[in-house]
């Protein structure tokens, strides 16, 4: 099959039909699909063509994809995909640039330009340099790798070249995201290597006094602090101002996982809950969460890019482009990279600072409305006051399904909303995270009506 005029016409026609149908049916589609069993299909000996692919896609796949792009997918921290970003993502596939290094297109310039715009959006100093990643997990891995190179260098060891033998390190964190723990394992520190810092009472935020005590009592030459802004369950923010001062005093690398919590800066500015993040050595941000661009799109930012480059750069004659600028393939895990900046750039242009802020505000207000309904409800307990976009709750003794697991299963089986489990202060809970740009009051009404019926 070639790009003949007929095929091109067919592609546009099928995309238009699918797009219209998908958008028209998104609200009615089961939020989590009920049938996830795929028939075993024989692989064709001879190419079956675009039409056959499309027919099989419709027959076996399309119906059973979830409405994770819709307004009532409240699991994990899941954004949707706004029209500007979706359109830009189509263009990404059409042009299919490899944004690995400079020298053959303007795509690398756009990545730099978009990263600078993100810094402006989030009131971060221009000395933060970075790279688009597949998501927050990949950004956390880069944080762990940069910290590793830093602690090695402090001890006269270039870890990227020599390996970790002889490097001593102590890592401190209170409530790191699972992907951060995974990153510590992948970086060779070990998933169990970190020292647990006490949290503040009834919070997942780090107790600064405890951290100060631990750092002061440590003789270790390589220290790393992993901070959260915010934690994925309680949406609690570590005191980044105090922590960054401690890190400076003790020569510790400070990585902040701000995958979705950085968006709080749009509401409260640089002096709100993330004050001090500008002093971090590295930051994780996720655009496929609260910026509502399609997967996969995260960001790693660092004020000390040399450690990242030392870690990721490798010479090879066929890769040499004689560029005076650092290549993106020397700042991340991949040699070949998707043009991830375009949907972000499109979103920043399409909505502007004010439009994006409005979407965040909308989610926060609606999360409050949902939390207040739960607090007043006869069948549910609001487990923690809602402070951002995540609502924690459980069924109470008067609920027809008293067990959290049974209640969550029934909620998700409805097909009207999707939530995920969690644990708050040792107790199982249900977690609803609102980060879709299209979520509206009508969604809250639909969900509260469902929850009321289940309670009875």
Ligand X SMILES: Cc1ncc(COP(=O)(O)O)c(C=O)c1O
Cα distances (angstroms) measured from residue 437 to each of 69, 80, 363, 444: 10, 7, 7, 14
Q: Rule CB under 6 A: is residue 136 a binding residue for ligand X?
A: yes
Phi–psi pair at 158, nearest 5 degrees: -90, 95
| 3-class DSSP assignment, residue 429 | strand
Nearer to ligand X, 164 or 333 (CB): 333
CB of 293 to ligand X, least distance (A): 12
Among 130, 143, 298, 332, binds ligand X (CB under 6 A): 298
Q: Rule CB under 6 A: is residue 76 a binding residue for ligand X?
A: yes
Phi–psi pair at 199, nearest 5 degrees: -100, 165
CB of 410 to ligand X, least distance (A): 24
Nearer to ligand X, 360 or 454 (CB): 360
The binding track of 243-282 with respect to ligand X, each residue x by CB under 6 A or -, is --------------x-xx----------------------
Residue 203 near residue 227, CB atoms below 8 Å: no
CA gap 197, 375 in Å, rounded? 31
CA gap 357, 374 in Å, rounded? 26
CB of 401 to ligand X, least distance (A): 26
Q: Rule CB under 6 A: is residue 173 a binding residue for ligand X?
A: no
Nearer to ligand X, 77 or 252 (CB): 77
Residue 377 near residue 411, CB atoms below 8 Å: no
CA gap 261, 272 in Å, rounded? 11
Q: Rule CB under 6 A: is residue 387 a binding residue for ligand X?
A: no
CB of 342 to ligand X, least distance (A): 18
Q: How many residues bind ligand X (CB under 6 A)?
A: 13
Nearer to ligand X, 368 or 389 (CB): 389
Taken as a whole, the chain contains a residue count of 456
> What element of type H or E holds 228?
strand 223-228
CA gap 24, 354 in Å, rounded? 28
- Helix count and strand count (H, E) for the chain: 15, 11
Among 86, 149, 179, 363, binds ligand X (CB under 6 A): 179
Q: Rule CB under 6 A: is residue 286 a binding residue for ligand X?
A: yes
The binding track of 205-244 with respect to ligand X, each residue x by CB under 6 A or -, is ---------------------------x------------
For residue 50, how many C-alpha atoms fall within 13 Å in the half-sphere facing its CB?
A: 14
Task: Report which DSSP code applies to 100.
Answer: T
Nearer to ligand X, 53 or 295 (CB): 295
Of 346, 330, 328, residue with least CA distance to 99: 328
Nearer to ligand X, 54 or 295 (CB): 295
| 3-class DSSP assignment, residue 17 | helix
Nearer to ligand X, 159 or 286 (CB): 286
Question: Could you tell me the strand order of the sheet in which 420-424 lies?
Answer: 380-382, 390-395, 427-433, 420-424
Among 31, 32, 67, 77, binds ligand X (CB under 6 A): 77
Helix axes 178-186, 136-154, angle to 10 degrees: 50
Q: Rule CB under 6 A: is residue 182 a binding residue for ligand X?
A: no
Nearer to ligand X, 196 or 403 (CB): 196
Nearer to ligand X, 77 or 206 (CB): 77
Among 137, 326, 359, 377, binds ligand X (CB under 6 A): 137
CB of 261 to ligand X, least distance (A): 7
Would you tell me which residues interact with ligand X (CB under 6 A)?
76-77, 135-137, 177, 179, 232, 257, 259-260, 286, 298
């Amino acid at each position: 099959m070639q790009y003949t005029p007929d095929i091109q016409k067919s592609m546009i026609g099928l995309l238009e039909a699918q797009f219209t149908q998908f958008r028209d049916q998104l609200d009615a589609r089961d939020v989590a699909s009920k049938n996830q069993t795929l028939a075993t299909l024989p692989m064709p000996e001879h190419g079956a063509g675009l039409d056959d692919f499309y027919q099989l896609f419709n027959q076996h796949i399309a119906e059973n994809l979830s409405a994770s792009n819709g307004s009532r997918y409240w699991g994990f921290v899941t954004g949707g995909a706004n029209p500007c970003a979706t359109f830009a993502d189509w263009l990404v596939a059409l042009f299919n640039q490899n944004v690995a290094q400079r020298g053959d297109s303007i795509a690398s310039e756009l990545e730099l330009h978009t990263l600078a715009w993100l810094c402006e959006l989030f009131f971060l100093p221009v000395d933060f340099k970075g790279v688009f990643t597949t998501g927050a997990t990949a950004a956390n891995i880069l944080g762990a790798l940069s910290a590793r190179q830093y602690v090695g260098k402090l001890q006269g060891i270039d870890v990227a070249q020599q390996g970790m033998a002889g490097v001593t390190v102590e890592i401190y964190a209170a409530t790191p995201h699972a992907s951060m723990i995974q990153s510590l394992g992948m970086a060779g520190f070990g998933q169990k290597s970190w020292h647990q810092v006490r949290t503040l009472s009834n919070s997942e935020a780090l107790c600064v006094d405890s951290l100060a005590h631990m750092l002061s009592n440590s003789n270790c030459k390589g220290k790393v602090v992993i901070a959260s802004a915010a934690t994925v369950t309680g949406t609690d923010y570590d005191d980044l101002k105090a922590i960054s001062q401690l890190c400076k005093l003790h020569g510790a690398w400070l990585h902040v996982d701000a995958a979705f919590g950085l968006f709080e800066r749009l509401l409260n500015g640089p002096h709100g809950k993330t004050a001090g993040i500008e002093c971090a050595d590295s930051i994780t941000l996720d655009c496929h969460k609260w910026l509502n661009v399609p997967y996969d799109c995260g960001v790693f930012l660092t004020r000390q890019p040399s450690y990242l480059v030392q870690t990721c750069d490798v010479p090879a004659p066929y890769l040499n482009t004689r560029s005076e600028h650092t290549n993106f393939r020397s700042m991340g895990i991949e040699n070949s990279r998707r043009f991830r900046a375009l949907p972000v750039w499109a979103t920043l242009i399409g909505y502007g600072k004010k439009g994006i802020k409005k979407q965040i505000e909308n989610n926060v207000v609606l999360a409050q409305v949902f939390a207040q309904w739960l607090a007043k409800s006869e069948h549910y307990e609001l487990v923690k006051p809602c402070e951002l976009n995540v609502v924690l709750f459980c069924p109470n003794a008067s609920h027809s399904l008293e067990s959290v697991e049974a209640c969550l299963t029934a909620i998700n089986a409805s097909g009207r909303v999707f939530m995920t489990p969690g644990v708050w202060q040792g107790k199982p809970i249900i977690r609803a995270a609102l980060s879709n740009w299209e979520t509206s009051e009508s969604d809250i009404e639909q969900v509260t009506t469902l929850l009321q019926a289940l309670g009875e």
